[in-house]
Structure 1
Amino acid sequence: MTSVQETLRSLDPATGEVVGEYPVATAEDVRAAVDRAREAARWWSGLGWSGRRSWLRRWKRALAQGAGELAGLMSAETGKPLDDALLEIMLAVEHLDWAAGHAERVLGPRRVPAGLLAAHQAATLEYQPMGVVGVIGPWNYPVYTPMGSISYALAAGNAVVFKPSEYTPGTGRWLADRWAELRPEEPPFQVVIGDGATGASLCASGVDKVAFTGSGATARNVLASCAESLTPVVAECGGKDALIVAADADLDAAAQAAVFGAFGNAGQTCAGVERAYVDESVFGEFVRRVEELAGRVQPGSSYGPITMPGQLDVIGRHIGDALDRGGKAVVGGRESVRAPFVAPVVVTGVPEDSAAVTEETFGPTLVVNRARDLDHAVDLANESRYGLAASIFSRDRRTAETAARRLRCGGVSINSVLGFAAVPSLPFGGVGESGFGRIHGADGLREFARAKSVTRQRFRPLLDLMSFDRKPAHVALARTLLRLRHGR
């Protein structure tokens, strides 16, 4: 896919044709970019909320106006259909707009109650920029996913140095170029291109926070590197997301969602659907509908190739393990892996300790297993060491919401898949092997800011206990107040 000595070559995963060539950033290049970002951060943070909002909305317009060009580049680098690339851009622009418009409300200074003991103090909470944020992005959604960190970090007042995936360098370069066209002399947003070594250099460059999206194994390397300088990290590390179908579910809607969630983007979606747990009373009918819908999905038109060639081996291994362990292929099978494409695969009756159930497949495969009831389905879904997202289909709103609260994951869609992805005000992130921290929403803005507490004494306290000259009578009265207020 790439040559990373001095030049990185981006290839079309479907044809192998060269999409573009880019100079690889050395460790010195990365440090220089961070130094420039440090200078730009002073200008950027000094603009204030309204100034940053204005610039971010100019950038938003540039992205929207160039969406066709960007989508074409994304399609060439990832192989995804043009329509899917455009949808991704639309979502990213919505998040950019939300972050720009809500940063002041979420992060601006505000008065907070001081409480009884500190009634003489005026208490204020505010959030300040961290400085420079390093963003390491993925290839599967090379605009939407990293922009969930870039947009919110910029809106919070930080400068950003972005390392896109080595599979999608042109997409990252395009985003940075649109900013540079607006304000070339001030670079609060820059891109550095390269492979894992460039990402390691970014982690060691002195940035104030790292936002990482990728595998759990790489996340551990990022954490180890950042631990040396106590650099905080927000990490999104994939998932093994489950779709749950209750006995009263709308089976047509559930089947449609399962097929799209499992096969959209060739299954290369961290919050997509890899497992389905279906109430045994509707299991057969659900599988029949999934089988019918999956038969209409065609690799090469419905979705693109497997972007990362090495993933083909993982997908093939998981399919083989599921079948060798007694699973039944109702759609596709071992023969579905035809590089660089993988045709849809649906396997039922797969043991819960199979690799196809326990490991992230990241391909167009779906395991559908029986559950005794909704509670059992939730228990099975929670067995995973991952915990990114899930979906529940039920006509009973209260039942579905109760089940959603029990699921050990960062987000749940009821009667849809990926419903939260289009809601900028909702945070996104996982637990367990899926990582920690949040992007998007108010929590995403706070992720890239430091909370600062300020108090101002308004008048002398009636009981001055913060002094070596405190009076015994004041201590006695305070003890009495403590007992009356909290001891009864």
Structure 2
Amino acid sequence: MTDQAIAEVEAIVARARAAQSKFENNGSQKAYDRAAEAAAWAIMEPARNRHLAELAVETTGLGNVPDKITKNHRKTLGLMRDIKGVATFGVIKDDPATGITEIARPMGVIGAVVPSTNPGATPANNIINALKCGNAIVVSPSPKGVPTCEALLGYIKAEFDKLGIDRNLVQMIPGRGSKEKTQRLLEIADLIVVTGSQNNVKRAYTSGTPALAVGAGNVAVIVDETADLAAAAEKIKASKTFDNATSCSSENAVVVVDAIYDDFVDAMAQTGGALITDETKVTSKLWVKGHLNPQAIAQDADNMIAALGLTEEVPVGTEYLAVETKGIGPNHPLSGEKLSRVLTVYRAKDFDDAVDVTQKIQLHQGAGHSVGIHSADPSRPMVLANAIPTSRVIVNQAHTFATGGSFTNGMPFSLSMGCGSWGGNSIDTNLHWRHFIQTTKIVREIPANEPTLDDIFGPYWDEAGK
């Protein structure tokens, strides 16, 4: 990395640090809230939202415009609902029983590495959370995401100008960036947030800076014999096809119990899912020299089907491909994330076998992220929760919409899902505002609360003896 590149990143962070210091020293809950609202409106205003969505698809070649408009709007609206009225300035907790008063303090300068799959929604989410908590933020987009990120920051700064907010609170690594520039940002920021490339995740965790980075997705969903098959098929279709499967929460495999297998295949067909029984027809074209075919990933259905050479093999109006397979592991690429409208289908003997298949898929790829189940049996989600290395079990919902927060469930709205130790992450929750704040504790003396030895060890002594 050249000295000039190092100096460029260091200058950006220095400006951010100066702006953040003033933001904090002159801060108030209203100031933090207004800055977050400005950033949110910058992406949600309909004309700007459409422009950002169109620019994202045009420059990355990933996803589709209507769904990106929906994503930009709903993810941001949901986040604003989550943080509305949340205290992130001054005293946020005062507990007379413990004598502890907690005072909210910003992290400082956030360094955020964001992916090309969501070049508008993900940086906006990070920016809003950072500002809500009194931080400055520097974004490092993937090369293809640069134009969308530049446009987003331009809109944010236009909103800032209306309110006299310092533009240097929100910046980005300019140009197409580089690994070296991003690495320097990782080293000198106060907190790192990384979504996307697992190489970037590993670099974040080894940078020496506190890091919030998330694992890979590879969602497997069970459909059991008690499920409402039509409803399950419709939800899976809606989720699988949304934004052309760019989401890490998009279903990559469905594990169907034998008793309803044929009926569910019919239900998928009713929603535009075309069954492919010879997996080689897909694997021979979806991967090129060991890498996903760029002509097929995150594309509209007709373009993807054409890229796979299957136009004459599937019905007109096919929305996604459901490909039968049995294999799991490195030699079976269909068992991993496909970033396309391709859904792998496994046939399980019964529910126990479906759990076993799902576990093997997660251990191969996607451990810690999330799995799903379509079932009318209320006990079965608990079985999954105890059997699978996963942070989330999504029940009877369209997985993409549910995992990252929904208006019909209690998950925080986010585009970054922590995967716990299973996925090599420091968090197992959806990334949200609380991760962007720290606290100073005032600790006062309280009446003594010292137990006797008998209070602690009495039951143990009764059983084991002294």
TM-score normalised to the size of structure 1? 0.74
Q: Which moved more, 1:425-434 or 1:153-162?
A: 425-434
Give the distance between the partners of 2:256 and 2:310, measured in 1 at CA.
24
What is the match of residue 429 of structure 1? 418
Q: Does 1:83 align with 2:66?
A: yes
Decide which of 103, 109, 115 is 1:126's aligned counterpart: 103
Q: Which amino acid aligns with 1:450?
A: Q
8 Å contact kept, 2:35–2:132 = no
What is the match of residue 440 of structure 2? 452
RMSD (Å), alpha carbons: 3.5
User: Could you give the per-residue CA deviations for residues 1-22 of structure 1, whole angstroms, max 9, x where no partner exists?
Assistant: xxxx99xxxxxxxxxxxxxxxx
Decide which of 233, 246, 268 is 1:255's aligned counterpart: 233
Question: Following TM superposition, by how much is the alpha carbon of 1:231 offset from its aligned partner in structure 2, in angstroms?
Answer: 0.5
Q: Which amino acid aligns with 2:436?
A: F
What is the match of residue 145 of structure 1? 122
Q: Does 1:285 align with 2:273?
A: no
Q: Which amino acid aligns with 2:218?
A: K
Question: Following TM superposition, by how much is the alpha carbon of 1:60 offset from its aligned partner in structure 2, in angstroms?
Answer: 2.3
What is the match of residue 38 of structure 1? 17
Question: Following TM superposition, by how much is the alpha carbon of 1:54 offset from its aligned partner in structure 2, in angstroms?
Answer: 2.0
Q: Which amino acid aligns with 2:172?
A: V
8 Å contact kept, 2:226–2:376 = yes
Give the distance between the partners of 1:236 and 1:311, measured in 2 at CA.
27
SS of residue paired to 1:281: helix
Q: Which moved more, 1:178-187 or 1:29-38?
A: 178-187
8 Å contact kept, 1:148–1:439 = no
The change in CA–CA distance for 1:146 and 1:236 in structure 2 (over 3 A counts) is: farther
Q: Does 1:346 align with 2:322?
A: yes
Superposition pairs for residues 71-110 of structure 1, below 5 Å?
Answer: 71-79=53-61, 80-98=63-81, 100-104=83-87, 108-110=91-93
Decide which of 393, 409, 419 is 1:412's aligned counterpart: 393
Question: Following TM superposition, by how much is the alpha carbon of 1:133 offset from its aligned partner in structure 2, in angstroms?
Answer: 0.5
| Count of aligned pairs between the two proteins | 410
Q: Which amino acid aligns with 1:335?
A: G
Question: Following TM superposition, by how much is the alpha carbon of 1:100 offset from its aligned partner in structure 2, in angstroms?
Answer: 4.2
Q: Does 1:266 align with 2:244?
A: yes
What is the match of residue 244 of structure 1? 222
Question: Following TM superposition, by how much is the alpha carbon of 1:362 offset from its aligned partner in structure 2, in angstroms?
Answer: 2.0
Give the distance between the partners of 1:50 and 1:33, measured in 2 at CA.
26
The change in CA–CA distance for 1:333 and 1:379 in structure 2 (over 3 A counts) is: farther
Question: Following TM superposition, by how much is the alpha carbon of 1:453 offset from its aligned partner in structure 2, in angstroms?
Answer: 2.6
8 Å contact kept, 1:91–1:422 = no
Decide which of 195, 201, 221 is 1:213's aligned counterpart: 195
User: Could you give the per-residue CA deviations for residues 249-300 of structure 1, whole angstroms, max 9, x where no partner exists?
Assistant: 1111222233333343333221111111111111122123324533589xxx
What is the match of residue 112 of structure 1? 95
SS of residue paired to 1:397: coil
Question: Following TM superposition, by how much is the alpha carbon of 1:40 offset from its aligned partner in structure 2, in angstroms?
Answer: 1.0
Q: Does 1:135 align with 2:109?
A: no
SS of residue paired to 2:418: coil
Question: Following TM superposition, by how much is the alpha carbon of 1:162 offset from its aligned partner in structure 2, in angstroms?
Answer: 0.6
* Structure 2: gaps spanning 5 or more residues: 276-285, 297-304, 312-317, 459-466
Decide which of 50, 67, 76 is 2:30's aligned counterpart: 50
Give the distance between the partners of 1:271 and 1:382, measured in 2 at CA.
17
The change in CA–CA distance for 1:336 and 1:111 in structure 2 (over 3 A counts) is: farther
What is the match of residue 60 of structure 1? 40
Superposition pairs for residues 150-165 of structure 1, below 5 Å?
Answer: 150-165=127-142
What is the match of residue 376 of structure 2? 395
Q: Which moved more, 1:139-148 or 1:361-370?
A: 139-148
Question: Following TM superposition, by how much is the alpha carbon of 1:202 offset from its aligned partner in structure 2, in angstroms?
Answer: 1.4
TM-score normalised to the size of structure 2? 0.77
Give the distance between the partners of 2:223 and 2:89, measured in 1 at CA.
37
* Identity rate, percent: 21
What is the match of residue 279 of structure 2? none
Question: Following TM superposition, by how much is the alpha carbon of 1:346 offset from its aligned partner in structure 2, in angstroms?
Answer: 2.4
8 Å contact kept, 1:210–1:231 = yes
